[in-house]
Amino acid sequence: MRGRNLPYLLIAPAVIFLAVLFFIPLVQTIALAFETRSGPGLGNFVRMADDLNFHDAVVNTFRFVGLAVPLQLAAALGMAMMLRHLGKGRDLVLWIWTIPLGLSDLAAGLIWLAILNDKGYLASLLFHLGIVSEPQSWLTYESPFALFVAVVIAEFWRATAIVIVILVAGLQLVPKEYAEAASVFGASPWRIFTRITLPLMKPSIQSALILRTVLAFEAFAVVIAIGGRNFPVLVSEAYNWQNFNQEPSVAAAYAVVVMGLSLAATALWLRLLRTPAEQRG
């Protein structure tokens, strides 16, 4: 019967497309990573781990994700709550706050490079304030900590927007009556936030964290824009092995590590922030 097949007909193009351009490359990446001249093995991973930059890349990636993502969540929560009390102009403020959402991490990196380079706007501001007297070169290999802070700031500036959008969208689904009921029963604003609003927002917090963690593991253009090759992360190493060293199989090994981390993070958030079925309203 034609009617019964119609939905399959409608999803078929998307399914075939994702099979060819998602699942096949996924399998290929894994295959490539485990493929060595002497047959399947961990050779590529050994070469990856033996590389000078590997240790730094792992540490940097974890520090970067571990700091940027929680910062984004906390700031976005605060901003979402701030919006609740804004009447007129809410739409305008919301639009301004979500502008960085449309920017690539490369663009964000370049924007912060304009601010943080040796003759940039931050140094100029400090000069005007009389704190420094000449251009400041922060973003060099000699000051990895400053590099790290700059990269986190750029990513925080850019990607908090998407978290705000997800949280505000989630907040719209939470009826105001719950908070009102709690305040009638004498709860303070802080207790309403921690005991009522936050638990009810758990599903959107969860999806924001999944999305952001996966994308933060993937960020690399921001790192290259600000730090060049002085602040290696896992994906920038994959990029370098592919483009400069012409070693796709080591790049694939990096990719497998990044995928593993992404999946693990997703599983972690799914487990930590699950809403039991009986609590879903």
Query: How many beta carbons lie within 10 A of that of residue 71, not counting itself?
Result: 17
Angle among Cα 141, 147, 152 to the nearest 5 degrees reads: 155
Does position 85 interact with another protein (CB under 8 A)? The reply is yes
Q: Which of 239, 255, 253 is nearest to 49 (CA)?
A: 253
Q: What are the start-end ranges of the H helices in 117-143? A: 121-128
Q: Which residue in the set 65, 152, 221, 233 belongs to the binding site for another protein (CB under 8 A)?
A: 221
Tell me which stretch binds another protein (CB under 8 A): 47-55, 63-71, 98-106, 176-184.
98-106
Our CB check for another protein shows the closer of 43 and 170 to be: 170
Cα(38)–Cα(233) distance, integer angstroms: 29
Residue 92 C-beta: closest distance to another protein, Å? 9
Q: Long-range pairs for 234-243 at CB < 8 Å and ≥24 separation?
A: 234/57, 234/58, 234/61, 234/258, 234/261, 235/61, 236/57, 237/48, 237/51, 237/53, 237/54, 237/57
Does position 13 interact with another protein (CB under 8 A)? The reply is yes
Our CB check for another protein shows the closer of 170 and 232 to be: 170
Q: Which residue in the set 58, 93, 146, 273 belongs to the binding site for another protein (CB under 8 A)?
A: 93
Residue 278 C-beta: closest distance to another protein, Å? 18
Does position 115 interact with another protein (CB under 8 A)? The reply is yes
Does position 262 interact with another protein (CB under 8 A)? The reply is yes
Does position 22 interact with another protein (CB under 8 A)? The reply is yes
Backbone angles phi and psi of 39, in degrees to 5: 85, -175
Does position 81 interact with another protein (CB under 8 A)? The reply is no
Does position 71 interact with another protein (CB under 8 A)? The reply is no
Bridge-partner residues for 35, per DSSP? 40
Q: Which of 207, 189, 179 is nearest to 274 (CA)?
A: 207
Backbone angles phi and psi of 280, in degrees to 5: -80, 130
Q: Which residue in the set 49, 74, 263, 272 belongs to the binding site for another protein (CB under 8 A)?
A: 263
Residue 86 C-beta: closest distance to another protein, Å? 7
Size, binding site for another protein by CB under 8 A: 94
Does position 17 interact with another protein (CB under 8 A)? The reply is yes
Does position 225 interact with another protein (CB under 8 A)? The reply is yes
Our CB check for another protein shows the closer of 69 and 221 to be: 221
Residue 195 C-beta: closest distance to another protein, Å? 23
Our CB check for another protein shows the closer of 12 and 46 to be: 12
Does position 173 interact with another protein (CB under 8 A)? The reply is yes
Cα(251)–Cα(24) distance, integer angstroms: 17
Cα(77)–Cα(32) distance, integer angstroms: 41
